[in-house]
């Protein structure tokens, strides 16, 4: 709970007869050892006054209504409006909606102007006006913990006392929930289990700290790691049918954290258009069906670069061409492709690429451009009759050029070899089971129209959009599965000339916009207008308001 000026509030509370001077002094003494605690929260925990009287008095002093909350106070669900992660991060709780347009929402810190504005805009985009209240931080955390604990029953109820069964259940539950990663994290008093589902981490359980040594021992055993070593290790779990699970351990102050990456063997390759690639097949052919060049998919970690590459390779794969891939690891096996899995202890992308060039390839996929040596050989391959596809870590398609320059590539090599740079982000799709249809709000229209005007685009906002509500099908998130948001930079003669001249990314972007390039936000808004996702989700990924 927030206090803007500690001492004046304490004095005012004494004047009103809510607490005594000795209570304020005790609270101030306690605050010296716990400076993050607010005076009001300390007085509440000390029990020196009736809680309702105390919070209403504090609210009156700081100019905002005070409220006592508990689980019975809540008349709506977090996921329907602000999301569990927002509630935990900002320590807020929505309480109820009045007349369908005004929401009572409790804050524990009313000096966090940025957080309050974030919630206000989030609600405003749903056509709801915020009616703020102040309450005690301890009560908000208790309610949130109660809501969170319901998610942990699925693991706790089946764990029994058997560590082997417990670890197996954690992994199998992650598989059932479509998790891409499982985080098993020692905390100071518990072990937290979280699943990354559709790109978001969701807390699934908090296990007893006493089981930590046994859980870590079991994970090391099935991952083929050294039991005695208290250092970062990598391993692999191969005991689950249809899954190859990469394991990574990392010591921290509370023990050893494990992250398990769930890779499905022989997974179905998704059609490139199903992934969200904009345009039609003619546009796709112009983008990726090339020779004597290199196409790069650029994005930060975890944004689906490899999935897009697989879809492109599947589209290009034909019996009359020789397609070879160099990957770390091979995540999906595709019939007809020569797939090479590198072992960092024995070989590298660059050394494997040298060998592949002697295997008469037509198309080469290099899993990732990591260093100068790899990009040099990839460029050479693209200049000598091959078509090379790869990925690189950077923020957008224009900055791919900057990244290649930093890796030591000359402007001539980039201009003559780089044909296409594709950048993407993954946004969550609105759950079809629980989404709620509604018109665009005036605030949403304003945001979208300002972006449209900036890039000379037009969006039809007379249709409807959706609210992400939340149900059992989507684990109460309001979203299920993900779709790609893309931007495509084809290096036209104009762009190549700019690169050859060594012009900056700003100047290249300006010219690219005239040549038909459109940034991620344009395809993102198209996905919102088409009903795939929400403006809030798009903003979470690429910050548009």
Tens digit of pLDDT for each residue in 106-146?
Answer: 999 888 888 888 888 888 877 788 999 999 998 888 887 76
Domains defined for the chain, CATH in brackets: 6-146 (3.30.300.160), 160-264 (3.30.450.90), 281-428+482-521 (3.40.50.300)
CA atoms of 296 and 90, how far apart (whole Å): 38
Whole-number pLDDT of residue 470:
83
> How are strands ordered across the β-sheet holding 233-237?
200-208, 190-197, 181-186, 255-264, 243-252, 233-237
Whole-number pLDDT of residue 74:
64
* Alpha carbons within 13 A on the beta-carbon side of 142: 12
Whole-number pLDDT of residue 147:
61
Whole-number pLDDT of residue 233:
93
Closest CA to 256 of 210, 177, 191: 191
Whole-number pLDDT of residue 153:
47
Bridge pairing between strands 464-467 and 436-439: antiparallel
The more confident residue out of 2 and 112 is 112
Which phi and psi (to 5°) does residue 184 adopt? -115, 105
* pLDDT tens string 26-58: 988 888 888 888 888 899 989 889 999 999 999
Res. 345: pLDDT tops 90: no
* pLDDT tens string 50-66: 999 999 999 999 889 99
Whole-number pLDDT of residue 6:
45
Highest mean pLDDT (candidates 65-74, 120-129, 367-376)? 367-376
CA atoms of 514 and 496, how far apart (whole Å): 14
DSSP for 274-317, please give it. TTT--S-HHHHHHHH--SSEEEEEE--TTSSHHHHHHHHHHHH-
Whole-number pLDDT of residue 349:
80
Bridge pairing between strands 181-186 and 323-327: unpaired
CA distances (Å), origin 325, targets 340, 341, 342, 530: 6, 8, 10, 35
Q: If you average pLDDT over every residue of the chain, what do you get?
A: 87
pTM confidence score: 0.70
Confidence of residue 258 (pLDDT cuts 50, 70, 90): very high
Mean pLDDT over 323-335 rounds to: 82
């Amino acid at each position: 709970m927030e206090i803007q000026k500690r001492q004046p509030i304490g004095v005012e509370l004494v004047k009103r007869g809510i607490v005594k001077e000795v209570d304020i002094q005790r609270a101030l003494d306690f605050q010296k050892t716990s400076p993050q605690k607010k005076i009001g929260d300390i007085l509440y925990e000390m029990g020196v006054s009736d809680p309702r009287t105390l919070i209403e008095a504090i609210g009156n002093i700081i100019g905002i209504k005070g409220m006592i909350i508990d689980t019975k106070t809540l008349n709506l669900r977090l996921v329907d409006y602000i999301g569990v992660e927002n509630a935990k991060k900002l320590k807020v709780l929505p309480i109820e909606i009045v007349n369908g347009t005004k929401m009572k929402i409790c804050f524990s810190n009313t000096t966090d102007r940025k957080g309050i504005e974030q919630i206000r805009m989030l609600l405003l985009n749903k056509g709801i006006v915020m009616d703020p209240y102040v309450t005690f931080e301890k009560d908000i955390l208790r309610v949130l913990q109660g809501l969170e604990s319901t998610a942990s029953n699925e693991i706790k109820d089946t764990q029994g006392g058997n560590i082997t069964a417990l670890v197996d259940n954690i992994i199998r539950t992650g598989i059932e929930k479509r998790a891409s990663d499982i985080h098993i994290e020692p905390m100071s008093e518990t072990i937290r289990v979280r699943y990354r589902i559709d790109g978001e981490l969701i807390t699934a359980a908090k296990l007893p700290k006493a089981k930590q040594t046994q859980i870590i021992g079991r994970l090391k055993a099935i991952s083929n790691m050294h039991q005695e070593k208290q250092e970062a290790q990598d391993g692999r779990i191969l005991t689950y049918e249809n899954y190859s699970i990469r394991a990574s351990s990392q010591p921290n102050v509370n023990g050893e954290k494990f992250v398990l990456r769930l890779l499905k063997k022989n997974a179905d390759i998704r059609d490139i258009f199903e992934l969200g690639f904009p345009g039609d097949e003619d546009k796709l052919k112009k983008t990726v069906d090339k020779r004597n060049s290199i196409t790069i998919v650029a994005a930060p970690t975890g944004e689906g670069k490899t999935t897009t590459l697989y879809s492109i390779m599947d589209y290009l794969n034909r019996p009359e061409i020789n397609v070879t891939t160099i990957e770390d690891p091979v995540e999906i096996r595709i019939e007809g492709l020569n797939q090479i899995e590198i072992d960092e202890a024995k070989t590298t992308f660059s050394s494997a690429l040298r060998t592949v060039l002697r295997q008469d390839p037509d198309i080469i996929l290099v899993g990732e451009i990591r260093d100068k040596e790899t990009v040099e050989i990839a460029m050479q391959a693209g200049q000598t009759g091959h078509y090379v596809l790869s990925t690189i870590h950077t923020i957008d398609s224009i900055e791919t050029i900057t990244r290649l320059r930093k890796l030591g590539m000359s402007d001539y090599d980039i201009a003559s070899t780089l044909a296409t740079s594709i950048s993407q982000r993954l946004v969550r799709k609105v759950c079809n089971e629980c989404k709620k249809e509604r018109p665009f709000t005036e605030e949403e229209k304003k945001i979208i129209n300002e972006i449209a005007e900036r890039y000379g685009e037009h969006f039809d906002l007379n249709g409807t959009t959706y609210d992400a509500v939340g149900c059992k099908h989507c684990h109460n998130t309001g979203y299920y599965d993900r779709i790609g948001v893309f931007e495509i930079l084809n290096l036209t003669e104009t762009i190549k000339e700019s690169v050859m001249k060594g012009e900056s990314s700003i100047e290249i972007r300006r010219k690219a916009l005239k040549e038909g390039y459109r940034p991620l936000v344009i395809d993102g808004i198209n996905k919102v207008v088409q009903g795939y996702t929400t403006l809030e989700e798009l903003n979470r990924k690429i910050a548009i308001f």
